Every structure is written in structure tokens, then in C-alpha cells.
Amino acid sequence: MRALVLITFFVLTQLTTPAQTAPLAPSDDPAATTSASAGQSRSVPKPAPPSSQPSEEPKNSTDPSSATPDDSVETMSPHFRDTRFWLSGQTNFIFESHPGFHAAYSGPHSLSTHYEKATSRVLTLYTGVRLNDSTEILVDIEEAGGSALTTGFGLAGNPNLDIVRNPLLSKAVYLGRGMIHKVFALSKDKVENQRNFLSLFDELPRRRLEIRFGKFSLPDFFDANSVGSDTHFQFNNWTVDNNGAWDYAADTRGYTVGLVADYEDRNWGFRFAEVLLPSVANGINLVWRPWQVHGENWEYELRHGVVPKKTGVIRLLAFTNYANMGIYRDAIAQFESGLVATPDITNHPWHITRKYGFAANLEQNLSPNITAFARWGWNNGKTESFVYTEVDSTVAEGVRVNGAKWHRTQDRAGVAFVSNGISKDHQVYLGDGGLGFLLGDGKLTYGRENILESYYTAHLWRGIYVAPGLQYIANPGYNQVRGPVLVPSFRLHLEF
């Protein structure tokens, strides 16, 4: 009890202490490419639909992916179980800091070399109503705030996925999700469905087509992973919880508007999304001209492990974005010809260019309490990093251990390693002094940004969880003459 009191006092102290952050970058448009904080605010757990997300411990059944991750999580009060309504909520606070570190030089978008601390917060209310056995409406209300280390600059793999991309945004509550979900039965047999905030049905046709239309976040349904996709109970780093090379369509807060079609069969599924993109990199305003500015995402999922007699899932993803994106070689050419003092990826008339990429996502059950995961991603790296982060290639791997091994079934621990890189054109652009919406040290001595992250999530009482964590970041911002950086963290999560 004394330890709990000390932990609570520490958290409250940090939450009420003003964060030390770098000065805000000047910008006429708070959502423009030089906006101050730059992470997708994926602040809530985004399990894939029940058809495509394995449980924390994959079940040995004909449909191993019929449950959501962390489906055994305790809450402060029971959820509605046998009604057509859904009501739940969460709050997530993440405190992080880093000590001072050595750097040969720094630029406008560098991680500060001085000691910093920052605390983010996200509060979400999940609601839903099932209209009939095949149609439901889902609405989530959210509030996000707090601060980020160096207001989000200086790292491709930012250590906190919950940070608000732009601290100039309103602190008022906003609509996170608002969508209609329709299920078309393609078979008579049913499978049990673990109800969650993205699907209220108790059971679903084994073979079916699901259509969703409205506002959502693409990682709700794509690149999901029961080990590394949730800042509430798992890892915090952007490029561990998401595929860093997947520049998925989203506004400043991480949401978009569009349509998702998802076909599910016994042990495989295929889904497609057509969505909107913002008008500028890191922008809050979506372009409502889908015939001109748009993004497509495709994902094939095979629910079959690579280890014999062990459950697992393999996901293969491809994406294309068409938007007002600059081209690195054009910006470099302007600089080399003396037209500009430094290369500027935004110095171009309105035009539509394409970014495309591919990704793979594997999770594999190794034992009843141990699950491993791996991700690989690549994009063409010729057009500017536009919506998620400045990563053109990535590889990640990690493992999660459930606390049942030491008789604490609500606890979990994990460790992951991720290595991020950028294309040659991207390297030259940053080396010549160009600025991305995240990075810009003024120079560049290139090296892959390598990150090691670990955490331990401890269940205290009912829906109260705490999690100390630590990240080691080598070559921050792809710069070998900066760092390494240590980022300790402490997370307080309440589940309602």
C-alpha cells in the first residue's frame, strides 16, 4: 500500500507540473507541415474487427481470431453484455522524460539535447447501438491534450503514440469515430463474437461481407496486432505499435473519412478501404474531392501460424496515396540550382503525386502465455512523408508475456526492437538542410534509427493499471552524431 501511495503521488506530481518543451515552430497554419507536434494521435486501443484480430491468447478453435486483444481486461464497472447498447470509456496518461545527451549539431526540428519531461492524456467515451441483427451505429467522443517531448520533433519513432500532433489544436472534445456498420451474411452457420467498441454483435456469420462507412482510423481495421498495437496496455512507440512505413491516410488526430469493405471466411479475410487525405502534410483539414485526393488500402489476412500446431496470423498490406505531396528530388534540384537557400519540400504549386508501399505483419503464439510479433514495411520514399511519420523502410520484432506465468493474469510484459530507415532522396534532402514535418537537424550523418522498448503493465485494482517502461534510441532522427537517448516512461490507465 505504501508503494501504491508513492506511485500515485509521483504520477499526480508529474501531471500537474508544466512540461519543459522546445519553442513552437512558427507557422501561419497550425496544421501545416511545420506544425509543432507530429504524431498520429492514435490514443485509444484500435482492435481490428472481431473477424480479424486474435485474442491475447489465441484460442484453439476453428476461428482463432474471434476475440479482441486483452478481452480479459478488468474494468471499473461491468459493461453491458446482453443488450443492443454499448457504453464504456478509458483514460490514459503517459509521462515521459529524457536526460541530456550529446549531439554534434542540432537544427530546427531536432530532439532537444537538454533534459525534458512531458505528459500526454487521452480520454475516450465509446458508445454504440445495434439497430438489428446486421446493422449498428458506433460513435466515440474523445479529448486529448498534454504535451510531447520537444513538441514531437526529432524522432521518426516517437516514444509516445498518444501525443497530440499539434498542440495548437482546440482542447475541446471532438468526434473520434462515427460510423455505420452493416453485415451481409454469406453463410448460415455462425461464429461467436467477442463484443467490443467496434462491433456489438454477439455472433456473426462465418462467411460474410462487412461494410463500414463514416469516420474512423485506418489502424482500427488494418495492420492490427494483438501484441503491438495498443498504448493502453502494450508499447508506446509509434513504430512499434504501427508499421512506420505505412503512411496511412489521416488528419492531424489520426482519423479519416471513408469506406471499409471486409470479406471474412473460415480462416482468411480480405479488406479494402477508400479514404480521404489532408490538404497538407500533418493537416487537420481533409480534402473532400475523392476523385482527386484519396487513399486506397488492401490487406489479406491468413489465420494460420508459421509454427506447427501453434496459432498465428499473417497479414499482407499494400497502400497508395494521391495527394498534394512534394517530391524530394525536385526540392533538391531547386536548392542545387540556387533557387532557394535550403530545400523546401512544400515549395511547389498544387499538384497530385502518388506514394505507395507494402507491409507484412506476423504474430505467432509460442506457448499459452507467450506471443511474438514481427513487422516489415517499405514505401517508395520519393514523395514527402505526408501523414504518419518520416519512415521509408522498417523492420520490427517483439514478444509479449502474459502474467499468468507468475500468477498475475492481468499483468503483461513486453520487449520489442525496431529499425527505421529513409530513402536516399530523403537522406540528401535532410542532409542539405531540408525540413520534414518531423525531422530536420540542419545536416545529416545518416544511420538507421534503432529503438529498443520494454514495458511492464501491472494491474492494481479493478480497471486501474500502471506501466513503467524504458526506450533506448540510437541515431535519433537518423543521425549518427546525435544520441543515444534514453526515454523512461510511466503510464496510468483507467478502464471503465
Which domains occur in the chain, in start order?
2-495 (2.40.160.180)
The dihedral sign for the CA sequence 90, 370, 391, 470: positive
Res 165: pLDDT = 67
Pairing assessment for the beta strands 208-216 and 353-367 based on DSSP bridges: unpaired
pLDDT at 57 over 50: no
Asked if residue 257 lies in contact with residue 277, where contact means CB atoms within 8 angstroms, the answer is no
What φ, ψ does residue 336 adopt, rounded to 5°? -70, -25
Mean pLDDT of the chain: 87
Res 185: pLDDT = 98
Tell me what percent of the residues of the chain surpass a pLDDT of 90. 80
Q: What is the DSSP string of 168-235?
A: TS--S-EEEEEEEEEEEE-SS-EEE---BTTB--SEEESSEEEEEEEEE-GGGTSS--SSSS-TTTS-
Whole-model pTM? 0.87
Give, for 362, the enclosing helix (H) or strand (E): strand 353-367
pLDDT tier, 295 (very low <50, low <70, confident <90, very high otherwise): very high
Q: Among residues 188, 118, 199, which one has the least CA distance to residue 151?
A: 118
* Amino acid (1-letter code) at residue 201: F
Mean pLDDT of 126-134: 95
* Residues 313-351 pLDDT 10s: 999 999 999 999 999 999 999 999 999 999 999 999 999
More confident residue, 195 or 417: 417
Q: What is the number of other CB atoms lying within 10 angstroms of the CB of residue 252?
A: 24
Instruction: Give, in order, the Cα–Cα distances in Å from 368 to each of 57, 90, 372, 405.
Output: 7, 28, 12, 9
Res 322: pLDDT = 98
Asked if residue 342 lies in contact with residue 440, where contact means CB atoms within 8 angstroms, the answer is no
Q: What is the number of other CB atoms lying within 10 angstroms of the CB of residue 224?
A: 28
Distance of CA 60 to the CA centre of its chain: 29
What φ, ψ does residue 235 adopt, rounded to 5°? -80, 160
Res 78: pLDDT = 85
Res 125: pLDDT = 97
* Amino acid (1-letter code) at residue 472: Y
Mean pLDDT of 481-486: 98
Distance CA 482, CA 279 (A): 33
For 370-460, where are the alpha helices, taking DSSP H only? 424-431
* Residues 376-386 pLDDT 10s: 999 999 999 99
Res 73: pLDDT = 85
pLDDT tier, 171 (very low <50, low <70, confident <90, very high otherwise): confident
pLDDT tier, 79 (very low <50, low <70, confident <90, very high otherwise): confident
Distance CA 292, CA 495 (A): 41
Q: How far apart are the first and last CA of the chain?
A: 23
**Contacts with 31 (C-beta within 8 Å, 6 or more apart), sequence order:** 166, 169, 252, 278, 280, 282, 283, 284, 285
pLDDT tier, 82 (very low <50, low <70, confident <90, very high otherwise): low
Angle (deg, nearest 10), helices 328-336 and 424-431: 40
Distance CA 161, CA 153 (A): 13
Distance CA 108, CA 435 (A): 8
Distance CA 11, CA 473 (A): 24
pLDDT at 93 over 90: yes
Read off the C-alpha cell for 313.
496470423
Asked if residue 192 lies in contact with residue 203, where contact means CB atoms within 8 angstroms, the answer is yes
